[in-house]
């Protein structure tokens, strides 16, 4: 390795666990010690884990609601504008603003926009697609999509002290503790 002028940029320290119970227990302990820039990695969603790292709020429902409202309003007023203002057409003597007939499309547009808001909102909030991420450098990380559980304390945590963090994670039933470089 060539000599570096600065310390090697460290993303954080990653601990590997055998089962979800150990991971959640470790995450709670680390959180209770005041670390906040922490994250867990698991092969399936674990409700307790996101609570343990203090991540319980997401604005996704609001985004989806706004998406649905925009979809519904644009669906209705598109029809209103076309049928009443721009291109009024007498169909069977019904009023131009025959709003009950506009409901099905209004509903479909509501669902369509809300669904896109849910998917795109989730991806944007998760900052996906993101082909490269430092955690992929962690040894055994490919097993995070099989049967291993990981906990990372990130280097930008205000309390981060490399030696202390390694010591702490080692004391928490971790199978392995490794540095993860950016």
Partner 1 sequence: MQDEAQKPYTEGPMHSTTPMIDPGLTFASVTDKISSIVLKRKTSLAWFFGFAISFALFQLMLLAMTNLLFVGIGLWGVNVPVAWGIDILNFVWWIGIGHAGTLISAILLLLRQRWRTSINRFAEAMTLFAVAQAGMYPIFHLGRPWLMYWLFPYPNTMGIWPQFRSPLMWDVFAVSTYATVSAIFWFVGLIPDFATLRDRARSKPFQILYGMLAMGWRGSARHWHRYEMAYLLLAGLATPLVLSVHTIVSFDFAVGIIPGWHATIFPPYFVAGAIYAGFAMVLLLTIPLRRFYGLEGFITMRHMHNMAKVMLATGLIVGYGYMMEAFFGWYSGNKYERFMIWNRMHGPYHLYYWALILCNIITPQFLWSKKIRSNLLALWIISFIISIGMWLERFVIVVTSLHRDYLPSSWGMYQPTVWDWSMFIGTIGFFFTLLFLFIRFLPMISIFEMRTILPEAEVEE
Q: Closest approach of Cβ 127 to partner 1, in Å? A: 9
Give the residue among 125, 144, 117 at the shortest CA–CA distance from 46: 144
Q: Closest approach of Cβ 7 to partner 1, in Å? A: 25
How many other β-carbons are positioned within 10 Å of the β-carbon of residue 9? 10
| 97 contributes a contact to partner 1 by CB under 8 A | no
Cα–Cα dist 76/62, whole Å: 21
Q: Closest approach of Cβ 34 to partner 1, in Å? A: 18
> How is residue 168 written in tokens?
């702490």
Instruction: Determine the interface stretch with partner 1 among 9-17, 104-112, 153-161, 173-181 (rule: CB under 8 A).
Output: 104-112
Instruction: State whether residue 150 is helix, strand or coil.
Output: strand
Give the position of tokens 């979800």: 20
> How is residue 53 written in tokens?
């790292």
Cα–Cα dist 29/19, whole Å: 16
Residues between 17 and 46 with contacts to partner 1, criterion CB under 8 A: 19-21, 24, 27, 39-46
- Residues at the interface with partner 1 (CB under 8 A): 19-21, 24, 27, 39-50, 53, 55-56, 58, 60-61, 64, 68, 78-79, 82-83, 86-87, 89, 91-92, 94, 98, 101-102, 104-105, 107-109, 111-112, 114-116, 118-119, 121-123, 125-126, 128-133, 135-136, 141-147
């Amino acid at each position: 390795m060539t000599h570096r002028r600065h310390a090697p940029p460290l993303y954080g320290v990653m601990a590997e666990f055998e089962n979800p119970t150990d991971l959640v227990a470790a995450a709670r302990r680390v959180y209770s010690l005041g670390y906040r820039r922490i994250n867990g990695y698991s092969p399936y969603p674990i409700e307790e884990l996101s609570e343990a790292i203090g991540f319980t709020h997401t604005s996704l429902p609001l985004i989806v609601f706004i998406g649905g409202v925009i979809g519904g309003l644009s669906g209705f007023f598109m029809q209103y504008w076309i049928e009443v203002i721009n291109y009024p057409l007498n169909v069977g003597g019904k009023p131009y603003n025959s709003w009950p007939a506009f409901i099905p499309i209004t509903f479909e547009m509501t669902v369509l926009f809300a669904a896109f808001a849910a998917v795109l909102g989730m991806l944007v909030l998760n900052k996906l697609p993101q082909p490269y991420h430092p955690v992929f450098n962690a040894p055994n990380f490919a097993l995070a999509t099989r049967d291993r559980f990981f906990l990372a304390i990130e280097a930008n945590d205000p309390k981060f002290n490399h030696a202390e963090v390694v010591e702490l994670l080692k004391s928490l039933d971790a199978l392995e503790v490794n540095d993860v470089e950016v």
